[in-house]
Amino acid sequence: MESETLNKHRILVLGANGQLGREFARLAPSYEYCHFRFDGRDVTDIMDENSVSAAIHEFAPDYVINCAAYTAVDKAETDRDACFATNAKACQHISKAVKKADARLVHFSSDYVYHSYDGFPLTESSPTRPQGVYAQSKLEGEKLIRESGVQALILRTSWVVSSFGHNFVKTMLRLGREKEQLNVVSDQFGTPTYTLHLASAVMDILIQTETNPDKMPLFNDTYNYSPEGIISWYDLAKEIMNLEGLDCKVLPIPTTAYPTPAVRPHWSVMSKRKIRAAFDLETSHWHAALRECLEDLDKSGL
């Protein structure tokens, strides 16, 4: 039944060369009832309105998944125009073209939009007080999507890790093999989101949306998505060393001892109650997500 229903549905993935885009490409063969197209910037430049419009007109997708993002958080502080062009203005281009095509959009935002703390996991209605250029650009992108009136699923996620690209897990593995001791911030809290889990959750939502009319209205909303639990960067680094058997001592330091151009959120622990209720999704614990990511890296020889 699902295969028949989804047989003609077409999915365009933008930002296909990044961590998340490559994860969707890896998953694609498992969804034979979907027809995917993967566009990197060399094919479709999301900052060029004409390029975006042409790609969507040509492929005529039912869903556009925007995996493209400017994620150099510190560099953004001196590269504001480029950051906003990718994370905000491009959202306007994509939304306009997606709406014109009568398609739907999946977009990824960030825990950075919150920058608030009341002692409890952040909910989608928690105050948004973005600090720094990256955080501001991500929230602006969300606003432009909503103002466009396009049907859009926006997922706010945190601490993205993967076997692809550059991320905290891969950095810790490299440094853990090179150094005897590392200092890691211990007063910023959240959970690492494994791209395989995130991409799988998106595909699950698309299937539910297409096969269950009751789910259709739930698509056009904003949700948090990350693993369960609470951990600091320091604790995460220690567990990476432990699971990989690396003889590297990890020492805790406060954020004040590791100043960066961009302000990092102290609290990135997000409630997933809303997305679980809407789509009956299971969200794994951060430890299970980390284990899977490390196993994937081991298989890749990284």
Query: 219-241, pLDDT tens digit by residue?
Result: 999 999 999 999 999 999 999 99
What are the chain's domains?
Answer: 2-166+192-226+270-283 (3.40.50.720)
Mean pLDDT of all residues in 5-34: 88
User: From residue 292, how far is each of 205, 240, 279, 285, 299 by CA, in Å?
Assistant: 21, 12, 23, 11, 11
Of 113-122, 243-252, 293-302, the range with the lowest mean pLDDT is 293-302
Measured CA to CA, the distance from residue 159 to residue 60 in angstroms comes to: 33
Is 117 designated active site? no
Cβ burial 60-87 (10 Å sphere, 16+ → b, else e): ebbbbbbbbbbbebeebbeeeebbbbbb
Please report where in the chains the tokens 């955080």 appear, as a residue: 135
pTM over 0.85: yes
Residue of 134, 194, 225, 234 marked catalytic = 134
pLDDT per residue as tens digits for the range 167-213: 999 999 999 999 999 999 999 999 999 999 999 999 999 999 999 99
Measured CA to CA, the distance from residue 270 to residue 190 in angstroms comes to: 8
Q: Where are the beta strands (DSSP E) in 58-133?
A: 63-66, 104-110
pLDDT per residue as tens digits for the range 72-127: 999 999 999 999 999 999 999 999 999 999 999 999 999 999 998 888 999 999 99
Q: What is the pLDDT of residue 2?
A: 44
